[in-house]
């Protein structure tokens, strides 16, 4: 197999540096000055860590002291990366090499070797310790060995960092003892996995399990011990087998023993990001085509379903046409950089430009922001992902625009994050208040990418193109692609459903980055409010929200008018007299066309979801089938799927709090009453208590499918319920409750409603609508009789009244004869 020795994307774009750019020019002197400023900022943070925090794991920059595990207020999952092993120093060693500071690198390696141990009774995140600590040790060893052989430094070094990496690798191995081979989320560094802790470690994120292959494969190839790489390959293979076969998308959280998805939302941000990154980089580093094939399949799915213009919005992996969130998180900022590596430059430029507009508005990228670019979560822990993508785009294009982007980020860090003892995370970008945190990745990645952005190749003491960046910014040599002799060839076989992977990158020799960015410059509301966002009208229809002021203004600009129907529902239509330009009018028609398609799809799904049944045997042994509405979440009762179980009643009956009778409801279908919380919250409480299904009974005593509109119970965008939930109006529920009083051990089935019964229900619903209309007419007639002074009109109204009453009486007789509910 032909192996690429350099970063594949950079070869493809080698000619891009000769392109003319209309953006602002940056002189070599100014660029050099920014490089020196980035270096000074790094040392301000690093020196304060060494003086005020080392050997603690992290620096607390506002308190000017170190953060130790258990010695400060516990921050929950955030502290699972800490282990009292000088985390920041290990994570930072190779940044010292990038900055060319070999004397300090020598001292740092010596401190790690002499003072760090992993024999600690502490539970840590398998993912975090792998990418930060194991990755830092491996990169540190590679450079220590290199400069021992090629300089006067580190002559004392004898592979100590590699020995520490092997020790840590063995301590991580118990996490891989799962049914699927996907590692537990956490492990005790001294005792492995204790049986009483298994339940707490069974759920892991896709990125957590799928971001081990680079470090563990490097450890195997440097040490000659194959078990590390073998475990990582098995984990990646298992994850690949759990993708949704129709969409080729991955979920976000899964159970490592059962392989069941806990959260099925799919995106490129938090919880899933580096899995996709490692699929591609495993091919680049290890030379195994199966990973390139997997990445290509995932990438095509992402661009089809998740990429919506320059935005990247989470969808349901099993229903990828439906967005699961209306906000994006900061971690997706790595994606343009990965697109550069894959050779797809145009969408990389577009998404990066969108992110840059967010930076211009908020100074940083907030942890999450909405589709109209407002703050959703305001924190900014000085993340590196945006700078990472900026660096790779500059390296691929040579466009000085990206130098100016980097300068703005540098200035924001100086203005809003620099404090006396380092750099402090921003608590909220809206207030620019700081918090007492400086994560290790600030030194390992943020300042590394900032420095590299402004550095020339002659400023570096290593050839950066001979290395691959891990997700933590650690450098692994591409020479690791040479297979060790004791590694099995069986793993080189492609997946059975793999097609020939795409090994060449598209050519963008004539692509001008300025022309791609220009249409996106005013996406963020407030920068240029007189110009609308250039998101395609059809894509805009997918995210349109009634009541969102920015959205309403945009459709108004298209010439779309909104009015309300008598039933209160909104009606949208084009106003031909509206003074909008032809382009806006075309957008308006496109928007309405797409919205109509979406609403038809939603209505069809609601109709499908609403046709469910609750059935049981009455005292005479006859089957009773009750019409039930369904949910847009949980187990779909389609294609003959049904749940049969004894019935129980939740306590508390609303089912909005943790049930106090879990033993009574375990493995049963549980009744809950409507009200006090969302339907999906009730389902979660039932699932938590061990129920196999749930029936929600309406809290309106006289409600009925005949007189009430059927509906599907909605979700909240988090797909974590796996049991079915159905809904009964009060009238339909009475036969069930009566039978339950007679037989507390009643066996109930919830399933899809038979087609013939569904047709009867539709007929009855139509009849119910006629009754409601007749009742409204009756009320009006009675009102006219009471207020009219005209004897002739009164007599006529009495005749109409008699006719309506006769009609209602006839309908009542028909309904009594109808076999609904039997």
Both 70 and 135 in one domain: the answer is yes
Both 749 and 773 in one domain: the answer is no
Confidence band for 464, pLDDT divided at 50, 70 and 90: very high
Q: pLDDT tens across 389-428, in order?
A: 999 999 999 999 999 999 999 999 999 999 999 999 999 9
CATH of the domain at 246: 1.50.10.10
Domain that holds residue 81: 8-12+30-323+335-492
Residue 512 belongs to a domain:
no
Closest by alpha carbon to 56, among 93, 76, 78, 81?
81
Residue 203 belongs to a domain:
yes
- Domain final position from 699, 731, 753: 753
| 273 is a catalytic site residue | yes
Query: What value, to the nearest 5°, has the Cα angle with vertex 490 and ends 489 and 494?
Result: 110
| 676 is a catalytic site residue | no
Residue 224 belongs to a domain:
yes
Both 423 and 545 in one domain: the answer is no
Separation of alpha carbons 801 and 780, rounded Å: 10
Separation of alpha carbons 93 and 133, rounded Å: 11
**Candidates 58, 80, 273, 399; catalytic one:** 273
Closest by alpha carbon to 323, among 306, 311, 304, 309?
306
Is 142's pLDDT higher than 50? Answer: yes
Closest by alpha carbon to 317, among 237, 244, 241, 239?
244
- Domain final position from 436, 468, 492: 492
Both 245 and 133 in one domain: the answer is yes
Both 585 and 720 in one domain: the answer is no
The answer to whether 79 touches 456, Cβ cutoff 8 Å, is no
Q: pLDDT tens across 506-557, in order?
A: 544 445 666 666 666 666 544 443 333 434 665 666 666 666 677 777 777 7
Q: pLDDT tens across 333-354, in order?
A: 999 999 999 999 999 999 999 9
Q: Which residues are annotated as a binding site?
A: 471
Both 626 and 589 in one domain: the answer is no
Separation of alpha carbons 63 and 352, rounded Å: 35
**Candidates 215, 385, 399, 445; catalytic one:** 385
Separation of alpha carbons 86 and 112, rounded Å: 8
| 420 is a catalytic site residue | no
Confidence band for 580, pLDDT divided at 50, 70 and 90: low
Residue 430 belongs to a domain:
yes
**Candidates 80, 367, 388, 439; catalytic one:** 367
Both 583 and 699 in one domain: the answer is no
pLDDT for the residue 821 = 40
Mean pLDDT, range 710-724, rounded to an integer: 74
Q: Which residues are annotated as a binding site for Ca(2+)?
A: 471
Both 664 and 569 in one domain: the answer is no
Residue 498 belongs to a domain:
no
Is 814's pLDDT higher than 80? Answer: no
- Give the length of the chain: 822
Number of domains in the chain: 4
Confidence band for 772, pLDDT divided at 50, 70 and 90: low
Chain position carrying tokens 């996490």: 175
Pairing assessment for the beta strands 422-423 and 426-428 based on DSSP bridges: unpaired
How high does pLDDT run on average in the chain?
83
Residue 542 belongs to a domain:
yes
Both 597 and 623 in one domain: the answer is no
| 128 is a catalytic site residue | yes
What is the radius of gyration, based on Cα positions, of the chain?
32
Query: What value, to the nearest 5°, has the Cα angle with vertex 498 and ends 496 and 499?
Result: 135
Mean pLDDT, range 27-42, rounded to an integer: 96
The answer to whether 623 touches 615, Cβ cutoff 8 Å, is yes
CA distances from 252 to 200, 300, 475 (A): 17, 18, 27
Residue 227 belongs to a domain:
yes
Mean pLDDT, range 605-623, rounded to an integer: 74
The answer to whether 140 touches 112, Cβ cutoff 8 Å, is yes
- Domain final position from 753, 778, 802: 753
Residue 500 belongs to a domain:
no
Both 279 and 224 in one domain: the answer is yes
Is 23's pLDDT higher than 70? Answer: no
E strand or H helix at 377, and its extent?
Answer: strand 375-377
pLDDT for the residue 205 = 96
Both 386 and 413 in one domain: the answer is yes
Q: pLDDT tens across 674-694, in order?
A: 988 888 889 999 999 999 999
Separation of alpha carbons 321 and 223, rounded Å: 46
Is 2's pLDDT higher than 50? Answer: no
Separation of alpha carbons 93 and 97, rounded Å: 7
Separation of alpha carbons 249 and 233, rounded Å: 19
Instruction: Choose the most confident range, by mean pLDDT, from 1-5, 293-297, 730-734.
Output: 293-297
**Candidates 80, 94, 101, 128; catalytic one:** 128
Both 446 and 576 in one domain: the answer is no
- When mean pLDDT is compared across 4-8, 64-68, 481-485, the lowest value belongs to 4-8
pLDDT for the residue 530 = 37
Question: Of residues 494 and 774, which shows the higher confidence score?
Answer: 774
Structure token pair of residue 696: 């929600």
Structure token pair of residue 47: 């020196």
Count of other CB atoms within 10 angstroms of residue 579: 7
């Amino acid at each position: 197999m032909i192996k690429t020795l350099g970063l594949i994307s950079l070869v493809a774009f080698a000619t891009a540096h000769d392109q003319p750019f209309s953006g602002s020019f940056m002189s070599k002197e100014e660029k050099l000055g920014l490089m020196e400023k980035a270096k000074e900022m790094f040392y301000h943070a690093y020196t304060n860590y060494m003086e005020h925090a080392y050997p603690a794991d992290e620096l607390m920059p506002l308190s000017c002291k170190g953060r130790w595990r258990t010695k400060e207020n516990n921050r929950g999952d955030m502290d699972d990366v800490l282990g009292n092993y000088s985390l920041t120093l290990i994570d930072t060693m190779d940044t010292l090499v990038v900055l060319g500071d070999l004397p300090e690198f020598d001292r740092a390696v010596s401190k790690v070797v002499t003072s760090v141990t992993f024999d600690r009774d502490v539970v840590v995140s398998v993912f975090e310790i792998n990418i930060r600590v194991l990755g830092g040790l491996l990169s540190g060893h590679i450079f220590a060995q290199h400069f021992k052989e090629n300089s006067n430094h580190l002559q004392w070094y004898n592979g100590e960092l590699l020995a520490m990496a092997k020790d840590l690798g063995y301590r991580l191995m118990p996490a891989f003892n799962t049914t699927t081979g996907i590692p537990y989320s956490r492990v005790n560094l001294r005792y492995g996995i204790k049986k009483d802790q298994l339940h707490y470690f069974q759920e892991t994120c896709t990125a957590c399990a799928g971001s081990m292959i680079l470090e563990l494969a490097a450890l195997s190839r440097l040490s000659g011990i194959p078990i590390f790489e073998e475990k990582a390959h098995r984990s990646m293979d298992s994850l690949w087998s759990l993708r949704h076969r129709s969409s080729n998308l991955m979920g976000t959280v899964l159970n490592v023993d059962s392989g069941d998805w806990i959260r099925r939302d799919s995106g490129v941000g938090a919880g899933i990001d580096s899995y996709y990154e490692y699929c591609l980089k495993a091919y680049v580093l290890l030379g195994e085509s199966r990973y390139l094939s997997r990445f290509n399949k995932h990438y095509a799915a992402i661009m089809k379903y998740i990429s919506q213009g320059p935005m990247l919005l989470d969808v349901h992996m099993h229903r990828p046409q439906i967005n699961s969130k209306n906000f994006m998180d900061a971690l997706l900022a790595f994606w343009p950089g990965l697109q550069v590596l894959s050779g797809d430059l145009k969408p990389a430029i577009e998404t990066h430009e969108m992110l840059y507009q967010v930076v211009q508005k908020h100074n940083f990228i907030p942890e999450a922001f909405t589709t109209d670019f407002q703050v959703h979560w305001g924190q900014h822990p000085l993340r590196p992902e945006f700078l990472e993508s900026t660096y790779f785009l500059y390296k691929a294009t040579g466009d000085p625009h990206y130098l100016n982007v980097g300068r703005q980020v540098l200035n924001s860090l100086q203005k809003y994050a620099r404090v006396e003892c380092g750099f402090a995370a921003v608590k909220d970008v809206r207030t620019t208040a700081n918090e007492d945190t400086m994560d290790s990745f600030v030194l390992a990645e943020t300042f590394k990418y900032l420095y590299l952005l402004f550095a020339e190749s002659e400023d570096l003491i290593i050839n950066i193109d001979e290395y691959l960046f891990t997700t933590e910014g650690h450098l692994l040599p591409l020479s690791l692609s040479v297979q060790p002799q004791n590694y099995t060839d069986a793993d080189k076989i492609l997946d059975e459903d793999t097609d020939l992977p795409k090994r060449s990158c598209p050519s963008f020799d004539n692509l001008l980055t300025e022309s791609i960015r220009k249409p996106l410059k005013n996406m963020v509301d407030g920068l240029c409010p007189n110009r609308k966002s250039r998101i395609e009208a059809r894509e805009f229809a997918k995210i349109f929200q009634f009541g969102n002021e920015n959205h309403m203004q945009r459709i108004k600009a298209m010439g779309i008018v909104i009015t309300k129907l008598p039933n209160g529902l909104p009606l949208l239509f084009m106003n031909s007299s509206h003074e909008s330009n032809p382009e806006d009018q075309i957008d308006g028609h496109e928007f309405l066309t797409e919205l109509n398609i979406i609403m038809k799809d939603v209505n069809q799904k609601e109709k499908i979801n609403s046709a469910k049944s609750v059935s049981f045997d009455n005292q005479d042994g006859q089957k009773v089938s009750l019409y039930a509405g369904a949910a847009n979440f949980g187990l779909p009762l389609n294609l003959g799927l049904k749940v049969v179980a004894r019935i129980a009643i939740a306590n508390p009956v609303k089912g909005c709090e943790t049930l106090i009778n879990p033993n009574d409801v375990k493995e049963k279908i549980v009744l809950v009453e409507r009200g006090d919380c969302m339907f999906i919250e009730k389902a979660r409480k039932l699932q938590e208590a061990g129920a196999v299904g749930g029936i929600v009974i309406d809290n309106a005593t006289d409600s009925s499918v005949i007189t009430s509109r059927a509906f599907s119970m909605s979700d909240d965008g988090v797909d974590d319920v796996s049991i079915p939930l159905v809904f009964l109006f009060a009238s339909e529920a009475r036969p069930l409750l009566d039978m339950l009083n007679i037989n507390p051990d009643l066996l109930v089935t919830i399933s899809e409603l038979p087609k013939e019964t569904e047709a009867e229900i539709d007929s009855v619903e139509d009849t119910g609508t006629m009754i409601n209309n007749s009742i409204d007419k009756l009320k009006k007639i009675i009102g006219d009789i009471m207020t009219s002074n005209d004897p002739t009109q009164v007599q006529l109204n009495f005749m109409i009244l008699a006719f309506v009453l006769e009609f209602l009486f006839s309908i009542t007789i028909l309904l009594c004869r109808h076999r609904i509910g039997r």
